[in-house]
């Protein structure tokens, strides 16, 4: 059955023009593109379209207005609601009219800082309808991070809600928005606030607008038409962690995104019109953009928006309950979520009692899926559990088992095979392709597939940097190898990015924050292995001579990262040490710190300046573990 996949992959590489023009037929174009790809003009040049039209309106126009588009399931508020495509069209139309009344037009940026509620989906689609460029910021980021994104994207408006709900905690969002706007250099023209019944936010006239009041005030305004956009016009900017404190604004273009995503729904996830698809992620991440909002709607499927956690809302059976209740046929989550369920329900009692209904396959991504997690999930669900790999830069999977093409081959520890459109190479430091079995930098031949980024917002040099290390290739930043059967194994990063509970974070950025704590002379932040979250950050700090309040330094380090970067950073451990392990030339040996945290025995590196540093740090870590 993998022959269909092999043929598709070969076609996509040998004749990308024909392959992608064929895939482009799944999209309703205003002006069809003449060609799939031209190096300068990019994907589907000459083509014009509207992504909102393709995700919503055309299904209504095609007679599928009564089909369910969106199911909101929120165990944290005890509510559940569904929208047909016709109802979704109405809601999106209303929000588009609200935005238009505030002057939003094609090309304007709108920052969306909102929780997992349907209004967030309406807001994104309304921007797409108007041709405005949305930039969704994950709710777990602090005000300072939001301010950086506001200054970079220079939005006309910010859209927010009064609060998010994390398990049993109600987290106010509006004060963070106020704080971010107060510190940002850029001034927005307005803030639209959706008041949730759990918490009322304070609004300040004339800047702030109450969402529902604005909706009422514009109830008679005509629904703005779907703007005509060039294939290369940006649909959204999504910021992701780079190796510095400055986030990278990945720009997603309308044409390539729509074509590529629609293709993946059939070929990878085996989902078509009327099927129910659920990605248990957050709209603040790329998985949420692609697979909660756009891709399922582009193919006329039903998407589930889940506001809850895998455990504790109310119990580790919540995923299985949602899958069964809504007749989900393909499910996508992060390995960390399965590890959380397994930890609380190792015998899978909830799973056995509730069942998985009509689920046929489960996909995992966001971090490496460890073989034990896959084995547990496969054993207890009796279903194929497929690891697949991708990045914010790409917008869609690039390594996977193309289940929808009939391929079911998988190997625990591997993310699968190159997805059609992507040609991988494992490169040595000198840029030479390495044979199967040898580990190196994971790179992809250019041009990348249609959904992948073709620019970074305001940052052409940052974009180019991804392609200069190995000419002719995009450098993914990951390390890995092909095995003798052609499976690709992703083993980790080659830079300072870590993956905490499926969230991409930069230890370099955390180091910049830690270095600013009073009395810190120098520091290192590393990613330590964690049984639940995959990795967690751990800080090592050296105090300046004569520094005061040494006994609170660890707490101040933790607090600063939480306040500046956000709770999502999950930095809970900081060690104040006498010195860091360094080479004679002053380079911090972060690998030594990682090994100490893992409790590994290792030979003292010959380059280390003072070997006694290792023993003292080891003691500190050991005594913290005992405590």
Asked if 87 and 72 touch (Cβ cutoff 8 Å), the reply is: no
Q: Report the first-to-last Cα separation within the chain, whole angstroms.
A: 54
Select from 415, 448, 577, 613 the one that contacts ligand AMP (CB under 6 A): 415
| Candidates 70-78, 322-330, 332-340, 425-433; binding stretch for ligand COA (CB under 6 A) | 332-340
Select from 337, 490, 505, 543 the one that contacts ligand AMP (CB under 6 A): 490
| CA–CA distance, 28 with 359 (Å, rounded to integer) | 30
Question: Which of the choices ligand AMP, ligand COA, none does residue 501 contact, using the CB cut-off of 5 to 8 A by kind?
Answer: ligand COA
252 touching ligand AMP, by CB under 6 A: no
* Rounded least distance, CB 98 to ligand COA, Å: 24
Closest to ligand COA by CB, 160 or 336:
336
82 touching ligand COA, by CB under 6 A: no
* Rounded least distance, CB 492 to ligand AMP, Å: 7
Nearest of 535, 539, 497 to residue 517 by alpha carbon: 539
| CA–CA distance, 297 with 258 (Å, rounded to integer) | 10
Select from 115, 118, 224, 366 the one that contacts ligand AMP (CB under 6 A): 366
303 touching ligand AMP, by CB under 6 A: no
535 touching ligand AMP, by CB under 6 A: no
Nearest-5° Cα angle at 324, 319 to 327: 120
| CA–CA distance, 381 with 282 (Å, rounded to integer) | 24
* Rounded least distance, CB 490 to ligand AMP, Å: 4
Nearest of 609, 612, 615, 575 to residue 589 by alpha carbon: 609
> In 3-state terms, what secondary structure has residue 134?
strand
| Candidates 85-93, 177-185, 365-373, 598-606; binding stretch for ligand AMP (CB under 6 A) | 365-373
524 touching ligand AMP, by CB under 6 A: no
* Rounded least distance, CB 217 to ligand AMP, Å: 38
Residue numbers 519-558 binding ligand COA by CB under 6 A: 532
* Rounded least distance, CB 398 to ligand AMP, Å: 10
114 touching ligand COA, by CB under 6 A: no
368 touching ligand AMP, by CB under 6 A: yes
Closest to ligand COA by CB, 139 or 480:
139
Question: Which of the choices ligand COA, ligand AMP, none does residue 466 contact, using the CB cut-off of 5 to 8 A by kind?
Answer: none
Spatial neighbors of 271 by CB under 8 A, at least 6 apart, are 265, 277, 296, 299, 301, 329, 330, 404
* Residue 240 CB neighbour total at 10 angstroms: 19
Closest to ligand AMP by CB, 56 or 490:
490
* R_g of the chain computed on alpha carbons: 24
HSE, CB side, 13 Å, CA atoms: give it for residue 203.
21
Q: Among all chains, which residue has been given the structure tokens 């992701």?
A: 240
| Token digits of residue 121 | 């989906």
Closest to ligand COA by CB, 167 or 435:
167
Question: Which of the choices ligand COA, ligand AMP, none does residue 208 contact, using the CB cut-off of 5 to 8 A by kind?
Answer: none
* Rounded least distance, CB 96 to ligand COA, Å: 25
* Rounded least distance, CB 384 to ligand COA, Å: 18
170 touching ligand COA, by CB under 6 A: no
Select from 281, 318, 392, 476 the one that contacts ligand COA (CB under 6 A): 281
Asked if 611 and 604 touch (Cβ cutoff 8 Å), the reply is: yes
Instruction: Write the interaction track for ligand AMP spanning residues 371-410; mark x where CB under 6 A is met and - where it is not.
Output: ----------------xxxxxx------------------
| CA–CA distance, 12 with 200 (Å, rounded to integer) | 52
* Rounded least distance, CB 161 to ligand AMP, Å: 23
Q: Which residues of 335-367 are buried (b: 16+ CB within 10 A; e: fewer)?
A: bbbbbbbbeebeebebbeebebbebebbbbbbb
What DSSP character marks residue 289? I
| CA–CA distance, 518 with 154 (Å, rounded to integer) | 32
Nearest of 569, 556, 567 to residue 514 by alpha carbon: 556
Spatial neighbors of 236 by CB under 8 A, at least 6 apart, are 124, 127, 133, 134, 135, 136, 251, 252, 289
| Token digits of residue 517 | 């704590």
557 touching ligand AMP, by CB under 6 A: no
| Candidates 350-358, 446-454, 471-479, 510-518; binding stretch for ligand AMP (CB under 6 A) | 471-479
Closest to ligand AMP by CB, 130 or 501:
501
| CA–CA distance, 478 with 412 (Å, rounded to integer) | 18
Question: Which of the choices ligand COA, ligand AMP, none does residue 362 contact, using the CB cut-off of 5 to 8 A by kind?
Answer: none
475 touching ligand AMP, by CB under 6 A: no
240 touching ligand AMP, by CB under 6 A: yes
| CA–CA distance, 579 with 585 (Å, rounded to integer) | 15
Burial of 169 (0-12, 13-18, 19+ CB in 10 A): exposed
Select from 41, 45, 171, 479 the one that contacts ligand COA (CB under 6 A): 171
Binding site for ligand AMP (CB under 6 A): 240, 286, 365-369, 387-392, 415, 476-478, 490, 493, 499, 504
Residues that bind ligand COA (CB under 6 A): 138-140, 164, 166, 171, 281-282, 285, 287, 309-311, 334, 336-337, 340, 365-366, 501-502, 532, 567-568, 570
């Amino acid at each position: 059955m993998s022959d269909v996949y092999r043929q598709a992959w070969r076609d996509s590489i040998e004749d990308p023009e024909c392959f992608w023009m064929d895939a482009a037929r799944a999209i309703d174009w205003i002006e069809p593109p003449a060609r799939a790809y031209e190096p300068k003009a990019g994907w589907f040049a000459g083509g014009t379209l509207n992504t909102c039209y393709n995700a919503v309106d055309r299904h209504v126009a095609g007679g599928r207005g009564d089909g369910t588009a969106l199911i909101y399931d929120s165990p944290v508020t005890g509510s559940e609601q569904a929208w047909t495509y016709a109802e979704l069209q109405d809601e999106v139309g209303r929000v588009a009219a609200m935005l238009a009344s505030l002057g939003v037009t094609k090309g304007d940026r709108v920052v969306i800082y909102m929780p997992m509620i349907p209004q967030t989906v309406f807001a994104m689609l309304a921007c797409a309808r108007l041709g405005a460029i949305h930039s969704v910021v994950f709710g777990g980021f602090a005000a300072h991070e939001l301010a950086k994104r506001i200054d970079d994207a220079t939005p006309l408006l910010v859209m927010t809600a009064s609060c998010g709900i994390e398990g049993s905690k109600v987290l106010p969002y509006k004060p963070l928005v106020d704080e971010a706007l107060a510190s940002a250099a850029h001034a927005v023209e307005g803030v639209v606030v959706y008041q949730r019944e759990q918490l009322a936010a304070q609004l300040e006239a004339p800047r702030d607008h109450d969402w529902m009041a604005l909706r009422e005030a514009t109830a008679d305004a005509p629904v703005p038409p779907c703007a005509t956009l060039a294939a290369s016009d940006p649909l959204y900017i999504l910021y992701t962690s780079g190796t510095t404190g400055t986030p990278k604004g990945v720009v997603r273009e309308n044409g390539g995104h729509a074509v590529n995503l629609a293709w993946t729904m059939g070929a990878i996830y085996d989902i078509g019109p009327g099927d129910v698809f659920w990605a248990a992620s957050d709209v603040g991440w790329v998985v949420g953009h692609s697979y909660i909002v756009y891709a399922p709607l582009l193919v006329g499927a039903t998407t589930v928006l889940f506001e809850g956690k895998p455990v504790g809302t109310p119990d580790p059976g919540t995923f299985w309950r949602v899958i069964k209740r809504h007749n989900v046929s393909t499910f996508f989550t992060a390995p960390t979520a399965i590890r959380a369920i397994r930890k609380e329900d190792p015998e899978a009692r909830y799973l056995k009692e509730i069942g998985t209904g009509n689920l046929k396959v489960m996909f995992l991504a966001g971090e490496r899926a460890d073989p034990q997690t896959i084995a547990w999930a496969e054993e207890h669900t009796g279903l194929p559990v497929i690891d697949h790999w991708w990045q914010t830069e790409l917008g869609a999977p690039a390594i996977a088992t193309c289940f929808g093409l009939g391929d079911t081959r998988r190997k625990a520890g591997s993310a699968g095979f190159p997805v059609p459109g992507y040609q991988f190479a494992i490169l040595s430091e000198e840029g030479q392709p390495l044979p199967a079995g040898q580990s190196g930098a994971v790179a992809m031949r250019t041009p990348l597939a249609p959904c992948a980024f073709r620019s970074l917002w305001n940052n052409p040099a940052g974009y180019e940097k991804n392609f200069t290390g190995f000419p002719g290739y995009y450098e993914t930043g990951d390390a890995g190898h092909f095995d003798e059967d052609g499976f690709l194994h992703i083993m980790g990063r080659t830079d300072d990015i870590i993956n905490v509970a499926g969230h991409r974070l930069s230890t370099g950025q955390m180091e910049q924050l830690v270095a600013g704590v009073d009395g810190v002379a120098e520091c290192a932040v590393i990613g330590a292995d964690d049984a639940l979250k995959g990795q967690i950050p751990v800080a090592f700090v050296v105090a300046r001579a004569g520094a005061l309040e040494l006994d609170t330094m660890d707490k101040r380090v933790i607090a600063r990262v939480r306040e500046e970067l956000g709770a999502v950073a999950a930095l809970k451990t900081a060690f104040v040490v006498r010195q860091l392990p360094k080479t004679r030339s002053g380079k911090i040996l972060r690998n030594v710190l990682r090994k100490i945290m893992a409790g590994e025995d290792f030979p003292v590196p010959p380059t280390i300046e003072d070997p006694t540093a290792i023993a003292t740090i080891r003691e500190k870590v050991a005594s913290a573990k005992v405590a």
